[in-house]
Amino acid sequence: MHIRDLPHSDPGVPDVRTGGRFLLWLYRQQLGGQTKALLWGLVHTGAVASFPLPVGIAVQAVVDRDGGQLVLSGGLMVLLGVLVSLGDVMLHRSAVTNWITSVARVQQLLARKTTELGAAMTRRVAAGEIVAVSTGDLEKIGWLVEAVSRFGAAALTSVGVCVALVVYQPALGIVVALGVPVLALAVLPLLPAATRRADAQREMAGKATELASDTVAGLRVLRGIGGEDLFLGRYRSASQEVRRAAVRSARMWSLISAVQVVLPGLLLIAVVWYGVRLVLDGRIAIGELVTVYSAVAFLLYPLRHFEEIAMAYSFSRPSAKRAARVLALTRPAAGRTTAHGTPDGDLHDPVSGLTVTAGRLTAVVCGDPDAAGRLAERLGGHPPEPDEDAESLPSVLLGGTPLDDLSRDAARSAVLVQDKDPVLLSGTLGELLDVPASGLVGTAEALAAAQCGDVLTALAQASVDDSGDPMRTRITERGRSLSGGQRQRLALARSLVTDPAVLVLDEPTSAVDSHTEARIAAGLREIRTGRTTVVLTSSPLLLDRADDVVFLPSGTVAARSTHRELLRTDPAYRAVVTRETDDGPAHPAPATPEQPPAQRDRLDQIEETA
């Protein structure tokens, strides 16, 4: 796999049962790249490990005044130098390629999961956790994948050097062969504590990231209520906790590094002391001692890779666990039906008892905004909330066909859900409205129905190329350069351009003024004539334009009629729509001549406003 071949044509189906299994699956996906990096690593470390041999020959040649041996050692050093340089360059290139391709694979998996779950993803997983997975966690996972090949080459070379020393000089070789495994395993008792501290640091960092993400998302509201200092203090406190956890983790890793320096140093001293005694006894030559000393000094190099792989695994394990948890989220729909085409007919939710008649504009009034959001998700075929029993909840039916039985693409083409906080991606307005569509609704028609005239004027004035074309004006990330009402109207226009068989809108006009809202209600009814539309709202202006109004005060259908009829006959509905409180006046319905004049006048005003 080469970097130029990215993105992957198919990132595959990951094993997300545990974080460890996910890391193993990721490693298996690039066995070719790992093998290539391992071979180049063996060339590099093998050449470095072979340097003690020509060094020993050179020292002995000087002692023996043998010019031929000195030339031979020089030639070997040149050859090994070339191999070290070539192996180092190619190892780095192969290892970094493994890093980038593995990170790209995980990014594609996360993007695919986001596409599959849609807006329901942030309801099931905290936004901060998603940010942590897609940024810092990817770096840690890629670090482990990249380090495995270098560690494997170092481990194999270390074993080879120990075996060669035993054969070359058994007296010293046995000491080295017994000491190196002890050095490599000496840090194992410290790893659990280091891992716990690293996990604590990652958890605190994730919470701090989540707090920062939530604060930025609600910054406009915080400024409105003067809560900036409060959240700034909370983030400062969370940041200090992360700093303290990072210091505790660094102390443990510094201790591990110190052990990796002290113990090999003691081994080197022992080898030199024992080797000098052997030289004085005439059992080995000076050149042989220099060779053994150089080989032991080389072994300090691969031991650093043992420390690195332990550190990489400790940091990547919680990251992989978090990534596996996100990638394990599923949508119930598995495409069990083989029917072609998009089903048509009434939309029915067995949980709430809501039935939306095909081809009509139906408004739904819920007493709880969160309940409205959950209902919108169910109507779109998204998974239920984590605290709900996903196995016991029946699927929403479209024309008698369960949405869970449709493939994701078929369900998405059948039902489009626009939540109460739609996202506008950065790009030009033309790119924003360039979405999969039926072709029956034009861009100009959708913008007019969503009352985007003033938005187009503002974008035309902000055009950077002086063309005056609003379609070529760039919109900043999440539409932050626009007001809340402008973002809502552009998002509504985008949904209208798509022209799905069933359109579900959750509070599509909550940020616009009443005059604009009245015109949007008229435009929505006209442009969606003959198409199934569901609007979850409590706005009288939208409710009065609906063909049917369904009232769900506690999650189930309690009443169904027109807006004006429900105002007269249902006090609970009237209390929700008119924002009456328990302390406010209660209006018996219908109005009778015996009613006080003030009550009759107020009811007439409500109907006139509607």
Q: Structural domain boundaries of the chain?
A: 16-327, 347-609
Q: Where are the beta strands (DSSP E) in 379-452?
A: 397-398, 401-402, 415-418, 427-428
Looking at every residue in the chain, the average pLDDT score rounds to: 80
Q: What pLDDT, on a 0 to 100 scale, did the predictor assign at position 246?
A: 87
* String of DSSP letters for 447-510: HHHTT-HHHHHHHHHT-TTS---GGGSEE-GGGTTS-HHHHHHHHHHHHHHH--SEEEEESTTT
- pLDDT surpassing 60 at residue 209: yes
Helix (H) or strand (E) holding 256: helix 228-280
Q: Which residue has the tokens 């039906």?
A: 337
Residue 495 has pLDDT above 60, yes or no: yes
Alpha carbon of 415 to those of 85, 374, 396, 487, 536: distances in Å? 59, 15, 11, 22, 15
Residues 260-312 have pLDDT tens digits of: 778 777 877 887 888 788 778 777 777 777 777 777 777 777 777 777 887 78
588 falls in which pLDDT band (50, 70, 90)? very low
Question: What is the rounded average pLDDT of the residues 420-432?
Answer: 83
Grouping H, G, I as helix, E, B as strand and the rest as coil, residue 552 is strand
Fold of the 347-609 domain: Rossmann fold (3.40.50)
Per-residue pLDDT, averaged over 381-400, amounts to 65
The pTM score is: 0.62
Contact (CB, 8 A) for 165 and 171: no
Would the pLDDT of 96 be above 60?
yes
- β-bridge pairing 347-349 and 397-398: antiparallel
| 56-61 LR contacts (CB < 8 Å, sep 24+) | 56/287, 56/288, 56/290, 56/291, 56/294, 57/287, 59/286, 59/287, 59/290, 60/285, 60/286, 60/287, 60/288, 60/290, 61/287
Mean pLDDT confidence for 578-606? 45
For the cut 80, the answer to whether the pLDDT of residue 228 exceeds it is no
pLDDT > 90: percent of the chain: 20
Please report the DSSP string for 318-347 in residue order. HHHHHHHHHHT---S--------S---S-E
Phi and psi angles of residue 536, each rounded to the nearest 5 degrees, phi first? -95, 110
Dmax of the chain from CA atoms?
129
**Is residue 131 pLDDT above 80, yes or no?**
no
- Domain 16-327: give its CATH code: 1.20.1560.10
Residue in this structure with the two tokens 């978090």, named with its chain if needed: 322
The answer to whether 201 touches 246, Cβ cutoff 8 Å, is yes
Let me know: does 289 contact 55? Beta carbons within 8 Å. Answer: no
Query: pLDDT confidence of 381, banded at 50, 70, 90?
Result: confident
SS3 category, 390: coil
CA distances from residue 108 to 115, 138, 139, 432 in whole angstroms, order as listed: 10, 12, 15, 22
16-327 shares its CATH topology with 347-609: no
In angstroms, rounded to a whole number, what is the distance separating the alpha carbons of residues 241 and 200? Answer: 10
pLDDT higher than 90, residue 562: yes
Q: Per-residue pLDDT averaged across 466-494, rounded?
A: 82
Q: Across residues 575-597, what is the average pLDDT?
A: 53
Q: Is the pLDDT of residue 534 over 90?
A: yes
Does residue 184 surpass a pLDDT of 60?
yes
Work out the average pLDDT over 534-553.
94
Residue 513: how many other CB atoms lie within 10 Å: 9
Percent of the chain clearing pLDDT 70 (strictly above): 85
- CA distance linking residue 158 with residue 290, whole number of Å: 18
CA angle 540, 566, 599 (to 5 degrees): 80
Q: Where are the alpha helices (DSSP H) in 500-539?
A: 514-527
Strand-pairing partners, residue 427, are 475
Helix (H, G, I), strand (E, B) or coil at 401: strand
Nearest-angstrom CA–CA distance, 523 and 545: 10
**Pairwise pLDDT comparison (571 vs 579), residue with the higher score:** 571
Task: Pick the closest to residue 114 from 321, 322, 319, 331 (CA basis).
Answer: 331
